[in-house]
């Protein structure tokens, strides 16, 4: 798991005065960049280390995760930089809207495989994975929403590559076309042998994810409109 350091200070305790905590780079709940509110929940000093238990509330999703931090003692002083011994939850699956989970369980599964690769720092693998996940969602969208689940169209869509699927089904809708094309093109770069040496993997991945997010939101909105919780006839 990729981690970063977050400043923390509690003047009441010498060992925790102006220290740096080691925390996951992404929130384990929502996968958004992690700048949580850190609170100490318990701590104890030992002869060779200081152990502290923290809660971290994500400012993006408002859900809390927990870590145990160790401050190693050398020359009678505790280190200012902590080592994260454990984090909970440690399974980092992204939770999607129930609607999306039901509509395309394979998309959710593929997305989370890519997400897991990203959290392990395997960014090329993550980039290819997000692109593959997107392809599943695009084809499910084309078949289930645009073609009303027609069995004949299923064969046809299965044979189309991603580029042609987007061209055939999304060309008249600017939001669908742009959001999916950016993910497709960025995703291709991770697999290409001849990409430039100054390719910035991380910033491309963040851009790719942002556009994938737009597409996921469009799918979610369409599903809400197709299946409203109330209908005019009954009211």
Residue 27 or 142: which CB sits closer to Zn ion? 27
Shortest separation between residue 191's beta carbon and Zn ion, angstroms: 30
Closer to Zn ion by Cβ: residue 6 or 142:
6
Closest CA to 53 of 66, 36, 71: 66
* Rounded-to-integer distance, Cα 149 and Cα 113, Å: 26
Residue 222 host element (H or E): helix 201-226
Whole-angstrom distance, CA of residue 146 vs CA of residue 57: 40
Residue 34 beta carbon to Zn ion: minimum distance, rounded to whole angstroms: 7
Closest separation in Å from C-beta 21 to Zn ion = 16
State in angstroms the smallest separation of the CB of 185 from Zn ion.
Answer: 28
Which of these, 42, 34, 39, 6, lies nearest to 22 by C-alpha position?
6
Residue 15 near residue 48, CB atoms below 8 Å: no
31/129 with CB nearer Zn ion: 31
User: For Zn ion, which is the closer residue by CB, 13 or 66?
Assistant: 66
What phi and psi, each to the nearest 5 degrees, are found at residue 31?
Answer: 75, 10
**Interface contacts to Zn ion, rule CB under 5 A:** 27, 29-30, 58, 60-61
Nearer to Zn ion, 62 or 164 (CB): 62
To the nearest whole angstrom, how small is the minimum distance from the Cβ of residue 216 to Zn ion?
16
Label residue 211 exposed, middle or buried (CB < 10 Å: 0-12, 13-18, 19+). Answer: buried
């Amino acid at each position: 798991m990729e981690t970063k350091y977050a400043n923390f200070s509690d003047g009441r305790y010498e060992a925790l005065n102006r220290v740096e905590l080691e925390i996951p780079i992404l929130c384990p709940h929502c996968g958004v960049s992690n700048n949580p509110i850190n609170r100490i929940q318990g701590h104890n000093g030992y002869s060779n280390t200081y152990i502290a238990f923290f809660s971290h509330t994500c400012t993006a999703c408002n859900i809390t995760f927990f870590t145990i931090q160790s401050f190693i003692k050398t020359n009678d002083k505790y280190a200012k930089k902590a080592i994260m011994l454990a984090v909970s939850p440690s399974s980092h699956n992204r939770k999607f809207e129930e609607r999306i989970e039901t509509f395309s369980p394979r998309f959710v599964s593929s997305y989370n495989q890519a997400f897991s690769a990203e959290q392990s720092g395997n960014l090329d693998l993550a980039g290819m994975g997000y692109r593959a996940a997107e392809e599943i969602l695009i084809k499910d969208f084309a078949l289930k929403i645009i073609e009303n689940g027609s069995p004949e169209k299923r064969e046809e869509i299965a044979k189309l590559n991603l580029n042609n699927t987007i061209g055939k089904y999304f060309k008249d809708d600017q939001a669908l076309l742009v959001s999916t094309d950016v993910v497709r093109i960025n995703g291709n770069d991770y697999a290409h042998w001849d990409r430039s040496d100054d390719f910035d993997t991380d910033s491309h991945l963040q851009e790719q994810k942002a556009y994938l997010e737009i597409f996921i939101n469009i799918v979610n909105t369409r599903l809400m409109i197709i299946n409203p919780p109330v209908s005019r006839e009954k009211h």
